[in-house]
C-alpha cells in the first residue's frame, strides 16, 4: 500500500473540533459536525473510523483518530504489510500481506489465473509463477487427518533453489439457470487438482512411499478477505453477538445462526475473524508464519520444519537461528489493520440518472439515490438483514493489540458491518455441492460459514479490479454470489428470484453503494 496517500496529520489537526491529542477520544457528535458536508452524500459506516473516500485507496487509509505515535506505528505496520524483504520462505503462499491483499483488499485470485487449455479444450487455471497466487490451498485426507510431510496448507511458491510443496490446478463446471421472468444467469463450480507434489508420503498399510491419491484428497481454497473494518470487528461487544445468536431463530425463513466458540493460544472465546469465524484475533502472527514462512515469537518454527525444503533453503543461504519478525513489528501490523478507516456508504447522486430494466423488458429511470433506496428496500424485503445485520456496537474499552497496546478509540461506536458474525448453514445442494467444502473449523462444519460483512464490498471493483466473491471466488459478480446462497439463505434467495428484474438490479445497486 502506498503510504503517501494517507491523510496527513496536519490536515487532520485542522478539522474543527477534532482533537489531535492521542489521549483523547474523538466524540461522534463532533465528528459528524466536522463532516456535515460529506454526510449529504454519504452515510456513516464505522463511527469515528468512517472515511469519506471512494477511490482505489478506499480500503487503505487510516482512520481519522490515528495521530501522534500511532500514526508512525501505522506507517511502520503498513510498510511491513507490503514488504517483508528477505524474511519469507523457504516455501510460502505469498511474499507479503499486500501481495494477496492489494490495497488492503483482495488481489485477483489464482483460481481464475489462466494457465493453459488442456487437450479436451478445457481451460485450466491455478497457481501462478509470479511469486504469489492470492489464495490458500487447504489439504487433508478425506477423514480430516493431515498428510505426513505436508501441513494444512499447500505452499505453492518457494525461494530460488527450493522446491514448492505443490501446485493447484482448477477447472470449472458451468451451469445456466433462469429467473422466473426468463433472465439468464450462470454459476461456476470449481474442480481442484494438486500437481507437482514435492515428495511421496509413507503408506502404513502398503509399507511404502506413495503419491497422494486424488481419492484420498480433500482440497478447499480460500481467496483473500477484504481488510475492511478489522478493528471494529475485534472491538465488537461479544455479548451483543451472543444475543444475536439467541435471537437468530426464524423458522419461517429457516434461519438459525450460532457462535463459533473456539480455543486459540490458550484462550477460549467467540470467534469472529475468518471465513468460518474460526479465529479470536486478526491472525497477523499466523499469517506471517503460515502464508509467508516468516517465523515469530508465537510461531517460532519454520512451516516446512523437517521437510526437504529446510536443507534446500540452507544451501541457498538461509539461516534458521533467529526469529525473522519481532513481536513489536507484528503489533505494528496488527495496529495497521485495526486502524484502517472504513469507507462510508455512498448514498448516490440526486441528479445522475440510472436505468433499470423491468421483467417485461421496459425501462424505468431514476436518480442514483432513488435506485439505491429502492435496492435497500429490496434487501429488507428479501430478509437479507436477518443475517447481514446492519447495526452493531463496540464495547467501551475498544480493542487490544497482540502485544497489549490498547485502542480505546474503537470503543463505544455504532457500526454498520452488515453481518451478525454468526455461523449459518449455506447449503449443500446447488450443482451437487452447494457451498459445502467439508472442511471443519472449530464448531463450524463444512456447510457453515460466517456471514460475510458487506461494508466496503461495493468498492472492490475499484480497489482490486474484479468482482470475485465468496470464500473461493467462484462467484464472478453480485448476482452469482446471491444465487449460490442455499440452506438457511434459501428462502431469501427465492424472494430475490421472484422479484421484478428492476428490483433485483436495484438490490445490486444497493450492494454497490456499501
What residue ranges do the domains of the chain occupy?
A: 19-33+231-280+348-513, 106-225+298-325
CA count, 13 A, side-chain hemisphere, 344: 19
Measured between alpha carbons, how far is 325 from 288 in angstroms, rounded to an integer? 8
Identify whether the C-beta of residue 420 lies closer than 8 Å to the C-beta of residue 451.
Answer: yes
Asked if residue 512 has pLDDT above 60, the reply is: yes
Split at pLDDT 50, 70, 90, the class of 249 is confident
Collect all residues with Cβ–Cβ distance below 8 Å to 330 and sequence separation of at least 6.
284, 285, 288, 296, 297, 298, 402, 403
**Closest residue by Cα to residue 46 from 234, 243, 284, 248:** 234
Q: How far is CA 82 from CA 55, 60, 494, in A?
A: 19, 11, 42
Share of the chain above pLDDT 90, in %: 75
Distance CA(147)–CA(10), nearest Å, equals: 54
Read off the C-alpha cell for 137.
490451498
Task: Name the pLDDT band for 76 (thresholds 50, 70, 90).
Answer: very high
Write out pLDDT tens, residues 97-140.
999 999 999 999 999 999 999 999 999 999 987 778 999 999 99
Angle, vertex CA 388, rays to CA 384 and CA 389, nearest 5: 110
Region at 149 (left for phi over 0; alpha for psi -120 to 50; beta for the rest): left
Mean pLDDT of 242-249: 92
Give residue 172's pLDDT: 98
> What is residue 151's predicted lDDT score, i.e. its pLDDT?
85
Query: Is residue 90 reached through a cis peptide bond, with omega within 30 degrees of 0 on the bond before it?
Result: yes
Q: Which helix (H) or strand (E) element contains residue 205? A: none
Question: What span, in angstroms and rounded, lies between the C-alpha atoms of 394 and 233?
Answer: 8
> Which pLDDT value is given to residue 3?
37
Counts of helices then strands in the chain (DSSP H, E): 14, 25
Q: Dihedral sign for Cα 432, 434, 438, 444, please.
A: negative
Segment among 155-159, 270-274, 474-478 with least mean pLDDT: 155-159
Q: What is the DSSP string of 338-398?
A: HTB-EEPEE---SSSEEEEE-TTS-EEEEEHHHHHHHHHHHHHHTTGGGTS-S-EEB-TT-
Mean pLDDT of the chain: 91
Separation of CA 223 from chain center? 7
Cell of 101: 491483499
User: Does the pLDDT of residue 491 top 90, yes or no?
Assistant: yes
pLDDT tier at 5, thresholds 50, 70, 90: very low
How many CA atoms lie less than 13 Å away from 479 in the CB half-sphere?
Answer: 17
pTM value is 0.92
- Asked if 74 contacts 82 with a C-beta cutoff of 8 angstroms, the reply is no
pLDDT band at 319 (very low <50, low <70, confident <90, very high): confident
Following DSSP, what letter does each residue of 242-259 receive, concatenated? Answer: HHHHHH--BTTTTB--B-
Residue 27 has pLDDT above 90, yes or no: no
Amino acid at each position: 500500500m502506498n503510504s503517501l496517500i494517507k491523510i496527513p496529520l496536519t490536515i487532520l489537526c485542522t478539522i474543527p473540533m477534532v482533537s489531535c491529542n492521542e489521549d483523547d477520544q474523538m466524540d461522534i457528535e463532533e465528528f459528524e459536525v466536522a463532516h456535515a458536508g460529506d454526510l449529504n452524500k454519504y452515510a456513516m459506516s464505522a463511527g469515528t473510523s468512517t472515511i469519506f473516500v471512494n477511490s482505489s485507496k478506499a480500503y487503505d487509509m487510516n482512520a481519522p483518530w490515528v495521530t501522534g505515535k500511532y500514526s508512525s506505528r501505522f506507517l511502520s505496520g503498513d510498510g511491513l504489510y507490503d514488504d517483508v524483504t528477505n524474511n519469507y520462505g523457504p516455501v510460502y503462499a505469498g511474499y507479503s500481506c499486500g501481495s494477496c491483499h492489494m490495497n488492503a483488499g483482495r488481489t485477483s485470485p489464482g483460481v481464475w489465473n489462466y494457465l493453459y487449455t488442456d487437450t479436451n479444450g478445457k481451460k485450466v487455471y491455478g497457481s501462478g509463477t509470479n511469486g504469489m497466487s492470492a489464495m490458500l490451498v487447504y489439504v487433508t485426507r478425506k477423514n480430516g487427518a493431515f498428510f505426513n510431510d505436508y501441513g494444512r496448507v499447500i505452499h505453492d511458491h518457494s525461494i530460488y533453489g527450493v522446491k514448492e510443496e505443490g501446485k493447484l490446478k482448477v477447472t470449472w463446471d458451468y451451469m445456466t439457470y433462469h429467473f422466473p421472468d426468463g433472465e439468464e444467469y450462470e454459476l461456476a463450480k470449481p474442480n481442484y487438482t494438486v500437481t507437482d507434489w514435492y515428495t511421496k508420503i509413507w503408506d502404513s498399510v502398503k509399507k511404502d512411499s506413495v503419491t497422494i491419491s486424488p481419492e484420498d484428497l480433500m482440497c478447499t481454497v480460500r481467496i483473500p478477505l477484504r481488510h475492511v473494518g478489522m478493528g471494529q470487528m475485534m472491538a465488537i461487544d461479544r455479548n451483543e453477538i451472543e444475543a444475536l445468536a439467541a435471537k437468530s431463530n426464524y423458522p419461517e425463513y429457516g434461519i438459525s445462526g450460532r457462535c463459533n466458540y473456539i480455543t486459540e493460544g490458550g484462550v477460549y472465546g467467540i470467534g469472529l475473524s475468518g471465513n468460518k469465524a474460526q479465529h479470536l484475533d486478526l491472525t497477523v502472527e499466523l499469517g506471517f508464519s503460515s502464508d509467508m514462512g516468516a517465523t515469530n515469537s508465537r510461531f517460532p518454527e519454520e512451516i516446512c520444519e523437517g521437510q526437504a525444503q529446510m536443507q534446500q533453503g540452507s544451501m541457498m543461504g538461509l539461516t534458521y537461528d533467529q526469529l525473522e519478525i519481532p513481536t513489536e513489528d507484528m503489533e505494528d501490523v496488527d495496529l495497521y489493520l485495526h486502524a484502517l478507516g472504513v469507507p462510508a456508504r455512498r448514498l448516490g447522486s440526486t441528479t445522475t440518472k440510472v436505468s433499470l430494466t423491468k421483467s417485461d423488458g421496459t425501462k424505468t429511470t431514476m436518480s442514483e439515490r432513488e435506485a439505491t433506496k429502492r435496492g435497500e428496500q429490496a434487501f429488507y424485503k428479501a430478509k437479507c438483514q436477518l443475517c447481514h445485520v446492519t447495526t452493531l456496537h463496540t464495547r467501551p474499552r475498544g480493542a487490544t493489540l497482540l502485544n497489549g497496546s490498547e485502542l480505546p478509540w474503537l470503543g463505544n461506536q455504532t457500526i454498520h458491518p452488515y453481518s451478525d458474525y454468526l455461523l449459518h448453514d449455506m447449503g449443500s445442494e446447488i450443482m451437487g455441492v452447494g457451498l459445502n467444502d467439508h472442511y471443519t473449523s472449530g464448531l463450524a462444519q463444512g456447510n457453515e460459514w460466517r456471514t460475510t460483512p458487506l461494508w466496503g464490498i461495493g468498492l472492490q471493483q475499484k480497489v482490486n479490479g474484479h468482482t470475485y466473491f465468496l470464500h473461493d471466488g467462484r462467484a464472478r459478480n453480485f448476482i452469482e454470489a446471491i444465487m449460490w446462497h442455499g440452506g438457511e439463505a434459501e428462502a431469501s434467495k427465492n424472494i430475490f428470484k421472484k422479484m421484478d428484474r428492476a428490483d433485483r438490479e436495484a438490490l445490486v445497486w444497493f450492494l454497490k453503494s456499501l
